Structure 1
Amino acid sequence: MKSWIRLEWLVVIAAVVVLLPLLFLSPIGIANNGDFYRIMLAGGIDFADTGESYHDKYFGYFHAAYHYGPFSVGSYISSQIVVVFAAGMIGRLMNAEQFDIRILAFLYSLLYITALYVLVKYNKERSVLFNTALIFSMSLIFLDIGYIAYFNSFFGEAVTLIFMLLTFGFALALTRVDKPSIWMQTAFFLSAVCLIGTKLQNAPIGILLLLLGLRFWKLRADQAWRRAIVAWSTILLLTTVTMYAAAPSELKHINLYQTVFFGILKDSPDPAADLKELGLPEEFKVNAGTNFFQPDTIIKQNDPRILEALSSISHKDVLLYYTKHPSRFVQKLKRASENGMSIRPLYLGSYEKSAGKPYGEVSYTYSGWSAYKLKHMPNNLGFMAVFAAVYLVILGMEYVRRRRLVRQKLFLETLLVLALVGMFGFAVPVLGDGEADMGKHLFLFNVCFDMMAVTGLLYVVWRMSKLLSRKS
């Protein structure tokens, strides 16, 4: 008996039912922590009330209404700029006096629903049990307010989430059809370019996605397919390199300061020795444990001495330091794991001031998954290591069993890359920004963890459905 509606449209309906009230009717978002402005400028968007107090503008209240201003991309490069620019242009057509951030949320929602549609369409099975688990897990986890609240903000996490799901949705789709099309290959690579182009932190995963894309060479033998693979792989590589090369010098300085002073030197038993090993003056030890934005440092963060000293090192030196001192790196990973189950920054308010909620009030509407993770999942390195180990062992067993089937091998390799991206998403913030705002910087890791959790659940259900079908 055929279903009256295709399964992939059920997740679309579920998404509309959840997104409509939360993002558009009684909008919930995330307050500005000071990071919005450089992205707002790309869309020619400015604050609605230039005289608004610092207290009301930052941290406590989400803002839906903005005004327009001059366009200025500046030196900050991000794929998010494209979406924000489009939202700004649409906003001008709808209302030339005021920009409503829900226009941006609408564009994000369209892309996100597409990602959910692709993931369900190309991963559903003939098992009712499996398909029920697929729809339930996707709706519970990826429609959680912890994720979708980012859509009503100018944070780059919204773009990371969307293109992470799109990239792996199309990657899995390529392995699930008999003869994948050029448009599907293009969609995978374009999504991957947008994902690594979101922010500098995502750039390292460009190499992983490049290797995965090259593996799709085997899916078709015709010249058109393989020429497209080469062309898109080149674009993906150039994007990865560009993200590093074009990063503003100011941003590089901030990241290095955080990595050294709020990373290596934070809780160090001998800051002077660490500075000496990094080739930095020992006099900087008085700033050990400080972050770039705090006002009470003994030596100012932009002091010419610090600027000159940090310009002589790079994150390669930081990586080399942790290679020589693995116990210190593990210490930092343990610190990161304490923040590893938080999807959104709970110190930022969810409501507009006009809603009458207390300053900094956070919405927990449709937050079952994010609340469960935060309150009940172990937030320690041991749990995360065991989770990853079980995932990889099962993946390896299945890979050995299916090693003669090209498409199934590539399907499993895609799931392997997912795990590796998660590992990068866990380690890179430590290497690139020390212990600064770890809850927010571990967002990519959270997305990967949740995708792996869904994969694990579906694997168990798939094995159960196979067992039940044999018994019947």
Structure 2
Amino acid sequence: MKIRIRLEWLAVIVAAAVLLPLLFFSPVGVANNGDFYRIMLAGGIDFTDPGESYRDKYFGYFHRLYHYGPFSADRYISSQIIPVFIAGIIGRAVNSQTFDIRILSLLYSVLYVAALYIIVKFNKQRSIVFNTVLIAGLALVFLDIGYIAYFNSFFGEAVTVIFMLLTFGLALALPHSDKPSVWLLTAFYLSAVCLVGTKLQNAPIGLLLLLLGLRYWKLRADRAWRWTVGIWSAVLLLATVTMYAAAPSGLKHINLYQTVFFGVLKDSPDPAADLRELGLPEAFKVNAGTNFFQKDTVIKQNDPCILAALEGISHKDVLLYYAKHPDRFLQKLKRAAKNGMSIRPLYLGSYEKEAGKPYGAVSYAYSTWSTFKLKVMPNKLWFIAAFAAAYLAVLAAEYARRGRSVQQRLYLEALFVLALVGMCGFTVPLVGDGEADLGKHLFLFNVCFDMMMVVSVLYVVRIIVKKAGLPRGA
């Protein structure tokens, strides 16, 4: 008897074959850099050993086991709180004494595999070659350890990559039929809300996703559909505004300090002039080029005079400064590009201490794509700009050619929004946090870049298949 497996289920099998050994059987993860605790509290999760040394707790080793503590969101708003809270509840049911982070990783994996399933289901073609490249491309890029190792951690990057793939998978699925379901539309908006709510840095893309969602108004003319678009658009807008409004004042101060002192003033030829233009005292020039967490600053970062001065400006003032000084912003863009091809922070260890690996050792299992990006792809602004220009040019040509079909227009518009999200992911960290930990803060850009790369390869393959008349599937 001949067994036939649908392509989308083959994608699930391939994903399971990679995820299970790396995350569950011989687990690797990402070590804590100090950011975990505020998210751990949401799941009532605490460190196993309160007396553990700083060296063992941070940077060098991935921790699989934790203990439980009180539930607390600690005034930190993030959609990541939801899966962490659920994992904490499940963990207590499985083992009331010890929390295994693989429970959280399992929740993430289910959502991730669902995203891959949707992408394959609604983008496969009647071509063996195309479908092979589709599965291989997704597996090579998005099952890379640079992405999935985050699942065994409390970093927000895990939910960012999950909901990026899920949101745009659903965005491309909606125009697939003449009458898409209301449930599919609801899933798109819900995923978009979760993506926007991951972290403050992602909030600006809420407006782009809102515009895309409103475009789906055209797919159906019935009242139920249009009410759904209207209500969920309002929810998405509210989520975007809330991320800004609910950000803790302490976090806003940290980000603004980084933006000014480790952004505008870093490598500035005239820090005093820059401070005057921003409306800040020239005396602060002694802190130029410092970040918020340095211990050797002349003026302490939380000094009342700095706190008061920074309350008088906002990121809009920084944006206006860069608009007046495009050469300075270009300098920052080049610095971002230099850090833009790294998917994961290689200064954070991948292994448990019990694995016997050296302190800070990083796993390179299933890392072909992330290694290729880091070591082979040009980390230059010209390369990123050229790729984006080519992507947008082809998209514009296809839009002009297929402009008569509403479904095809909306499909291409989703791919256009993907590029805009990538641009936000590339520029927002510079305006919002200066040059602080750029490699990590450019994660959203990396996800968008890789999605655009897979789309581009598939576009070329589709043309080749069509021109060469290669074999087609059933």
TM-score interval for Structure 1 and Structure 2 normalised by the shorter chain: over 0.9
Alpha-carbon distance between aligned partners in 2 of 1:441 and 1:464, rounded to the nearest angstrom: 37
Cα 1:471–1:162 shift into 2, 3 Å: closer
Alignment partner, residue 315 of structure 1: 315
Alpha-carbon distance between aligned partners in 2 of 1:190 and 1:126, rounded to the nearest angstrom: 31
Alignment partner, residue 423 of structure 1: 423
Q: CA deviation at 1:178?
A: 2.4
Q: 1:370 is aligned with what amino acid?
A: S
Alignment partner, residue 391 of structure 2: 391
Choose 169-178 or 298-307, whichever is displaced more: 169-178
Q: CA deviation at 1:469?
A: 2.3
Is 1:126 paired with 2:154?
no
1:185-232 deviation per Cα after TM superposition (whole angstroms, max 9, x unaligned): 000000000000000000000000000000000000101000000000
Q: 1:93 is aligned with what amino acid?
A: A
Q: 1:197 is aligned with what amino acid?
A: G
Is 1:400 paired with 2:437?
no
SS at match of 1:9: helix
Alignment partner, residue 352 of structure 1: 352
Q: CA deviation at 1:258?
A: 0.1
> Given that residues 127 and 471 in structure 2 are in contact (C-alpha distance below 8 angstroms), is that contact kept between their aligned partners in structure 1?
no
1:320-359 deviation per Cα after TM superposition (whole angstroms, max 9, x unaligned): 0000001100100000000100000000000000000000
- Which 4+ runs in 1 deviate beyond 4 A? none
Alpha-carbon distance between aligned partners in 1 of 2:235 and 2:469, rounded to the nearest angstrom: 46
Of all paired residues, the percent bearing the same amino acid is 74
Is 1:456 paired with 2:453?
no
Alignment partner, residue 100 of structure 1: 100
Alignment partner, residue 75 of structure 1: 75
Following superposition of structure 1 onto structure 2, how do residues 65-464 of structure 1 map, counting pairs within 5 Å? 65-464=65-464
1:91-119 deviation per Cα after TM superposition (whole angstroms, max 9, x unaligned): 00000000000000000000000000000
> Given that residues 129 and 471 in structure 2 are in contact (C-alpha distance below 8 angstroms), is that contact kept between their aligned partners in structure 1?
no
Q: Aligned-residue CA RMSD in angstroms?
A: 1.1
Alignment partner, residue 25 of structure 1: 25
Alpha-carbon distance between aligned partners in 1 of 2:276 and 2:416, rounded to the nearest angstrom: 39
Alpha-carbon distance between aligned partners in 2 of 1:12 and 1:134, rounded to the nearest angstrom: 13
Q: Structure 1, unaligned stretches of length 5 or more?
A: none
Q: CA deviation at 1:75?
A: 1.2
> Given that residues 129 and 470 in structure 2 are in contact (C-alpha distance below 8 angstroms), is that contact kept between their aligned partners in structure 1?
no
Q: CA deviation at 1:470?
A: 8.9
Alpha-carbon distance between aligned partners in 2 of 1:114 and 1:405, rounded to the nearest angstrom: 28
Instruction: Give the TM-score of the pair, scaled to structure 1.
Output: 0.99
Alpha-carbon distance between aligned partners in 1 of 2:104 and 2:339, rounded to the nearest angstrom: 28
Q: CA deviation at 1:471?
A: 11
Cα 1:356–1:320 shift into 2, 3 Å: same
Alignment partner, residue 14 of structure 2: 14
Alpha-carbon distance between aligned partners in 1 of 2:277 and 2:178, rounded to the nearest angstrom: 55
1:133-190 deviation per Cα after TM superposition (whole angstroms, max 9, x unaligned): 1000001100000000000000000000000000000000001122100000000000
SS at match of 2:4: coil
Q: 2:82 is aligned with what amino acid?
A: V
Instruction: Give the TM-score of the pair, scaled to structure 2.
Output: 0.98
Cα 1:73–1:470 shift into 2, 3 Å: closer
1:245-303 deviation per Cα after TM superposition (whole angstroms, max 9, x unaligned): 00000000000000000000000000000000000000000000000001000000000
Q: CA deviation at 1:3?
A: 7.4
Q: 1:167 is aligned with what amino acid?
A: T
Alpha-carbon distance between aligned partners in 1 of 2:470 and 2:436, rounded to the nearest angstrom: 53
Q: 1:373 is aligned with what amino acid?
A: K
